[in-house]
Amino acid sequence: MRAITEAPMAVIRELNLGSWSMPAKALAVIVVVLLSATLAVSPDLFIQNLIGGVAYGMVLAIIALGLALILGLLGVVNFAHGGLFMLGAYGAYEVVALQGFSFWMALLVVPVAVGALGVTMEVTILRRLYGGTPIIGLLATFGVFVMIEEATRAKWGGTPLTFEIPASLQGSVPIGVGQIATIRLATVFVATLVIVGTYLLMYRTDFGLTIRAGLQDREMAEFIGIDIPTRFTVVFFLGSAIAGLAGVLRGAETGMDLSMGFEFVLLAFVIVIVGGVGSIFGSVVSGLLIGISVFVAPVAVRSLATVTGVDALDVAGIGGVVPYIVMLVVLLIRPRGLFGEEGLLE
């Protein structure tokens, strides 16, 4: 019980709410007003969207987690991450729909294959860019992303595709105030395992300790016998495989098309910036924050329009711009992100 109560207090201490400026406090008041109006007008709808937002946020969190590992630990702005995510979805389509294997096989094999592709990219291209100007890495990985996108178009075409998921993942589960899709619950479960596993690997094992030692002082780490290049390659494999896994889960839930890579890599960058570059915990919190905001914001503005009688407040399509509004607000309040280290972005 003590650990449960200490975690939220640690977050509050980290955010240092007492130091917020007046505009930040005013924004906080607006959020509270919107949520209060939503609870008063549509409590059931609010809860359903809150749960849907958590599920969506977990997908965003693991997409951003792979990006955060590579950006935070290796210092590479990996724009190709969106292409690896897209390949995860199309790879699952190839395994399940075209080759006739089970979805569970795709869930195991495709992330490993995408991770191997990521290693190939790291060894042949990115290893030469470590320690260099970030814009060079960004341009190089953007070029890789374009090549992946065009190769995907050549292989699977430009038409949106879907594949059948197992019967055990079809249908929905009652949650008291409505239903939630079983595949979405399964996604939350897998995402939670990935997040906990990644944290334990990086912060509770000797391997993670050597990675962080290499980042602090690479020459000293190599002097005492730590093989830093191999460890960085393993981190790249891990980040790429997580992107592939997220693609498999997203493809199973909604299908796949060529726009998904660019769309989600932008969201992943937003999440990493909001959470704070270099913070795995921040990426998870940020993913949940943005996922919930995307689902709850449309309901909130609609409820506020109902309460006030001002129809103009019900802005259509606001969910699509919410991630970028959240990013702007967070950067105005805290330029290094919610849990980022001072000096990286300010």
Ranges assigned E (strand) in the chain: 172-174, 179-181
Tell me the per-residue pLDDT of 119-144, one tens digit each, with 9 for 90 and over.
Answer: 999 889 888 877 777 788 888 899 99
What pLDDT, on the 0 to 100 scale, is given for residue 1? Answer: 44
Which is more confidently placed, 189 or 8? Answer: 189
| pLDDT number for residue 4 | 42
pLDDT at 276 over 60: yes
Q: Is the pLDDT of residue 29 over 80?
A: no
Does residue 244 contact residue 111 with C-beta atoms inside 8 Å? yes
Compute the half-sphere exposure of residue 73: CA atoms within 13 Å on the CB side of its CA: 27
Query: How much of the chain is in helix, strand and coil states, percent to nearest 5?
Result: 80, 0, 20
Q: Residue 23: what pLDDT? A: 60
List the end-to-end C-alpha distance of the chain, in Å, as a whole number: 37
Phi, psi of 171 (to 5 degrees): 80, -160
pLDDT digits (tens, 9 = 90+) for 33-92: 767 766 666 777 777 788 888 888 888 888 888 888 777 667 778 889 999 999 999 999
Question: What pTM was estimated for this model as a whole?
Answer: 0.83
DSSP letter (8 states) at residue 209: H
Q: Which residues of 40-54 are buried (b: 16+ CB within 10 A; e: fewer)?
A: ebbeebbbbbbbbbb
Indicate if the pLDDT at residue 26 is higher than 80: no
In this prediction, residue 228 carries a pLDDT of 78
Examine the pLDDT at 229 and tell me if it is beyond 50.
yes
Q: What percent of the chain has pLDDT over 70?
A: 84
> Per the structure block, which two tokens stand in for 221?
């780490």
Average pLDDT over residues 13-24: 59
Give the CA-trace dihedral at 267, 273, 277, 279, to 10 degrees: -70
**Arithmetic mean of pLDDT over the chain:** 82
CB 248 within 8 A of CB 110: yes
Closest CA to 76 of 276, 236, 234, 242: 236
